Amino acid sequence: MPFTTILVPLLIFLEIHICLSAEIRRADFPNGFVFGTASSAFQYEGAVKEDGRGPSVWDTFSHTFGKVIDFSNADVAVDHYHRYQEDIQLMKDLGMDAYRFSISWSRIFPNGSGAINQAGIDHYNKFINALLAKGIEPYVTLYHWDLPQALEDKYKGWLSTEIIKDFTTFVETCFQQFGDRVKHWITFNEPHTFSIQGYDVGLQAPGRCSILLHLFCRAGNSATEPYIVAHNVLLSHASVADIYRKKYKNIQGGSLGIAFDVIWFEPATNTQQDIEAAQRAQDFQLGWFLDPLMFGDYPSSMRSRVGNRLPKFSPSETALVKGSLDFVGINHYTTFYATKDSTNAIGILLNDAIADSDTITLPFNGTNIIAERANSIWLYIVPQSMRTLMNYIKHKYGNPPVFITENGMDDPNSILISMEEALKDEKRIRYYSGYLSYLQKAIKDDGCNVKGYFAWSLLDNWEWAAGYTSRFAKEL
């Protein structure tokens, strides 16, 4: 794919001053509601060996044969590192209020800890200043999956409690260097995704698993490692939040959240066992992380089903973790059916964290497909679930401030589709229009406390293990 092409996914935003569609307009959202786009350093920046940047686990993973479907890597990606000025102008032209991007840990600390790389500090200072000069508010993600490889080699990264200190040092450095201008921090992007994909099924970096007798991974324990990783992530976030509130919040005036990946789960039938299965599926996804942050412990369904494999919080850790979020970030794309795993088929096959939930989650119910599919095998277009999910968060978690930190859909990167046909982009327009319409209803009619919306993605990007086969944007 051409790296230098200007790419714009947000055609729904383009009717002059961000008219969202014929049915819904920006004025339909509350005053001060934030519209933005989102990205991640590894998927965008490229320049992986420039200005002192150290390698990350995703550099290693993407250069390992067979890990990426089209054998590509992100060494160049969309060259955001060099071309950020024109990318920021795109945001300005689109009328965006904000931009969510991540800081590459290994650009700041090439070895994960130790000496600071001033070139990395200088780059992000220039980048943040360029955003602000165009009136675009930076929303900074501090960890978007690109763990410095040095820490993976040193102590297995997120599997060790040593990561808490090193992550806290990295993040505090960002507070010190950028916090005078950055007022919205997202400590982690999709901790559930990288806990499962990286340490349970092994399909993402660092590629650890034990399913099917290590047929797919050389090392790992799918029954324990995802829970260890998740626990260390929660303690790392809590450590960072504690330091921010004690040392920086009063001076800098910012806030901290986490961006959680949330598939909505509908019961496959109206039977009690499927209704309970849908709730367990949500407990093992969003509840796994948000319950400790809101209530001080993991969901009871996890405690009862995982047993001693699920780490425990000490009283002091509970006090540190509980209440450590200022806002909730939600990455929502799709909806699945959930049913009880009555045959224990998943448990027999996997013996992992997925099996522990005792649910089967699929985008079809018998012969019925839940909705129209995008390109990815996991992404089906069910816009009404945006409203349902916002109400679920409102009622279960006390209506906290929420940002939709990601929402979007992909197309196949096919040479058989003409440029003229691709640029019509009607399916994506319907997607954004539908999800935004239901989000607006959740806010206006239901009183859900949603503060902003970030579309994924500003540019077409390198899509992790899918490489360049999946396009979350269109060429213009």
Query: Which residues are marked as active site?
Result: 190, 406
The number of C-alpha atoms within 13 Å of 364 and in the hemisphere containing its C-beta is 7
Whole-angstrom CA distances from 70 to 131, 134, 185, 463 are: 33, 36, 33, 11
461 residue type, one letter: N
Classify the C-alpha dihedral 468-140-105-237 as positive or negative. negative
The angle at the Cα of 342, spanning 341 to 347, to the nearest 5 degrees, equals 50
10 by Cβ neighbours in 10 Å (0-12 / 13-18 / 19+) ranks as: buried
Whole-angstrom CA distances from 171 to 103, 105, 143, 145, 335 are: 10, 9, 9, 14, 33
Closest CA to 106 of 73, 62, 57, 70: 57
DSSP bridge pairs for 185: 140, 256
- How far apart (Å, rounded) are the C-alpha atoms in residues 438 and 440? 5
Would you say 40 and 406 are in contact if contact means Cβ atoms under 8 Å apart? Answer: no
For the chain, how big is the Rg over CA atoms in Å? 21
Q: Which two tokens stand for residue 413?
A: 């990167």
Q: Which two tokens stand for residue 172?
A: 């505090």
Would you say 456 and 36 are in contact if contact means Cβ atoms under 8 Å apart? Answer: no
Burial 291-319 (b: 16+ CB within 10 A, else e): bbbbbbbbbebbeebbeebbbebeeebee
251 by Cβ neighbours in 10 Å (0-12 / 13-18 / 19+) ranks as: exposed
Would you say 256 and 187 are in contact if contact means Cβ atoms under 8 Å apart? Answer: yes
| 154 backbone φψ class: left, alpha, beta (φ>0; ψ -120 to 50) | alpha
End-to-end CA distance of the chain: 14
Would you say 184 and 139 are in contact if contact means Cβ atoms under 8 Å apart? Answer: yes
**DSSP one-letter code for 187:** E
Q: Which H or E run contains 288?
A: helix 288-295
Q: Which two tokens stand for residue 323?
A: 């209440």
Q: Which two tokens stand for residue 95?
A: 């009328």
Question: Where do we find the tokens 């001033």?
Answer: 118
- How far apart (Å, rounded) are the C-alpha atoms in residues 454 and 301? 32
